[in-house]
A and B are shown apart, each in its own frame.
Chain A
Amino acid sequence: MAFWLIVPSLLAIAVVTAYPVIATFVYSFQHRVSTDPHTGWVGLANFDRLIHDPTFWHALWFTVAYAVVSVALQFVVGLAFALLGHRNFRGRGIVRGALLFPWAMPTVITAKVWQFMYNEQYGLFNRLFDLVGLPHHIVWLGSANTAITALLGLSTWKVNSFFALVLLAALAAIPRDVYEASSLDGASAWQQFRYVTLPYLRPAITVVLILRTVEALQAFDIIVGLSNGGPGNATQNLPLYIYNTSFLGLDFGYGSALAVAMFVVIFVIVIIYLRLFNRSDDLG
């Protein structure tokens, strides 16, 4: 009886998770182009092509670099907002509400709105730059460096609030008496932050960093909405390359090989993360 009761959920999991994962692994060893009726096994040919594909290496590099830099920026800004939101001051409720706002907005819509704000001719940013006398004919999404800057700006605005919210909750859970005790011992504000606040926050930080890093490695909607990988391939990360290869190029075999490569990358990075954080926990 018990077994039959869990069958529906097992089936659901098999259909929506196991099947796509297994199918992707299988496809990665096949020549599978939907415009070509000849589908067949090709061994490691897709992976050989991947190793010699400069677009793949650039996408891989951009994926990792984007994850590292964007998560670092989101973390620093988010922590600052959490500390600010934790203090007692008038209008704290408004600040806390404002923290939630970017995170609550759907990503694609945010990205499209920011695309307008980055517009060269009628965008907000160039207008602001104009008002304060800075160069204001910047084609934000028209060159590699400014497009990457624009993407980081958006992702920091959008995601720092997630860090802020989680860290704010963790800050509220730190007992007051620890601060009082450290004050009696003569700890400065910096020392309190370094030796009381941060250690207490570490578990929360670990979870948020892992969550956000894995999500940043898979960033898709934010990039499609803002720059769609351009200019050229400057902001094309692996998920976007996988998507373009599979759904524009209709090459599902090579697309699957790219997806498997991405799986390996995420796996390795998560393992590194877990090792790193557990060790520092032991060292205290």
Chain B
Amino acid sequence: MTKVAAVSGRQFSRRNVLRAGGALLGAGAGGAMLSGCGGGFSSGGSGSSSGKSLVFAAQKDDTGTMSKLVQQFNKKNSAKVSYHQLPQTSNDVYQQYVSALSGGATTPDVLQIDVIWPAAFAASGWLKDLSSLAGNSFTSQFFDTSTQAGTVNGKLVAAQQYIDTGVLYYRKDLLAAHHVKVPTTMDELVTAASTLQKAQGSPNFHGFVFEGAQIEAIVDEWFEWLFGLGGTGSTGQKLKVDTPDGVQALTYMHDLVWKQKVAPNNTSTLAPADALVLMQNGNAGFMRNWTFAAAQLDNAKASKVAGKIGVAPLPGKAGVGHGCTGGWMLAINAKSKNDKLAWQFIKYMTSTEAQVQMALGSGLLPSRPDAYDDAQVKAKRPTVAEMHTILAQSKSRPQIKDYTGQSSKVQPQFNACMANQKSPQAAISAATATLGSG
């Protein structure tokens, strides 16, 4: 029997093994090197821009309004703007942009970016300075918060396309049936959610659903409860999570799932779209989500609860609390070869005409006050008018240059807490430790 092994050993000589191993190792090392990581965009080639063509990258819009706007722009200006659709999770979009822009890609020309990115992108030299193109007459048309969000070191680098904020959605029909008032404090929300959950009595029905996945939204929600408790969450250019209010905010989120059990035990895996599905299917009484959810909840084709949804500001400790403002802005890639057309496109996409269409089609909140006065918006999108008042209560996240980097260190710790793997205090301490090391 040993002879067989000896034969096979010879067939597979040491030299051959080493040679094969060396090749593998080379391949392995190459794969390990991060400079080799690819991005989601081509830098040039088919996507390149010239003359009247542009590449515009923005999150996918299920309502089709964005595509319609792009088509209208193309028709009016006989231009060829192509709409490159991106995922609906902010973190995924960020990764695609960073891969492309750090690699010096010339496209996309126009980038739709999250409100928390202008500082980081501008510091990296990826965005064109729009100040000279825009001027005061441009910025004065928008909300002050929008202009502030797009201004880095005194330079305008992005114009807000729409504003977003965290709001409380509720089932009007269930609240009426079980004589529950719309909660205005954090404690009232727990009681109300618990009442609905008991009354419905189904294991698939949850009093309250919110986002607990390892994404930016988990940090936004923490800010919302923290704002409600009177905290701020940052000092200078650093996130500050380890404060009594900070621990209490995270404890509130943790206990909704694990103590009062009014939120589903898979909250740690829920992203905004997942929470929306639960609400659309009638499996939740209350939901914390972004304003984009309103249009989808009222869409009778996709939603079983169309017409039964109310919106309210998120509750705070002793009274109405604060949503966390978000939203998306338009900026020009510093390497774009067609910035004139790009700017023309941005002006169109942020115009009253376009924002009214966005509000009507997608239910997204305009970043300019005049769009709220539009008669059609008032008639067809009453929720948008309601959101306008909620927006006045909302607060923005701290303007930290490295916000995304710091938030990405906090997210896994908060997520571990939502998964009940770490106590709120332990998660806060671990987050503080990782923030300190950077």
Contacts and interface: CB of A to CB of B under 8 A. Distances in A.
Nearest to A211: B24
Given A229-B214, A256-B34, A259-B32, A274 B17 contact: yes
- B interface residue count range (under 10 / 10 to 19 / 20 to 34 / 35 or more): 35 or more
B99 A35 contact: no
A274 B18 CA distance: 7
A94 B99 CA distance: 42
A252 B98 CA distance: 12
A248 B412 contact: no
A165 interface: no
A233 interface: yes
A232 interface: yes
B331 to A, nearest CB: 15
Interface string B403-437: 01100110011011011111000000000011001
A33 B98 CA distance: 12
Interface in B18-36: 18, 20-21, 24-36
B177 interface: no
Name B's interface SS: helix
A27 B35 CA distance: 10
B9 interface: yes
Given A244-B408, A255-B34, A203 B12 contact: yes
A250 interface: yes
A45 interface: no
A251 B412 contact: no
Name A's interface SS: helix
Interface in B93-112: 94-95, 98-99, 102
- A interface residue count range (under 10 / 10 to 19 / 20 to 34 / 35 or more): 35 or more
Interface stretch (B167-175, B262-270, B350-358): B262-270
Interface of B: 1-2, 4-6, 8-9, 11-12, 14, 17-18, 20-21, 24-37, 91, 94-95, 98-99, 102, 119-120, 123-124, 203-204, 213-214, 264-266, 268-269, 401-402, 404-405, 408-409, 412-413, 415-416, 418-422, 433-434, 437-438
Given A34-B102, A252-B34, 18 more contacts: A16-B36, A20-B35, A35-B119, A120-B264, A120-B265, A139-B419, A142-B265, A142-B266, A178-B4, A199-B4, A199-B5, A203-B12, A218-B28, A230-B268, A231-B421, A243-B34, A262-B32, A278-B14
Interface of A: 16-17, 19-21, 23-24, 27, 33-37, 49, 52-55, 119-121, 137, 139, 141-144, 178, 182, 195-196, 199-200, 202-203, 206-207, 210-211, 214, 217-218, 228-234, 236, 239, 242-244, 246-252, 255-256, 259, 262-263, 266-267, 270, 273-274, 277-278, 281-282, 284
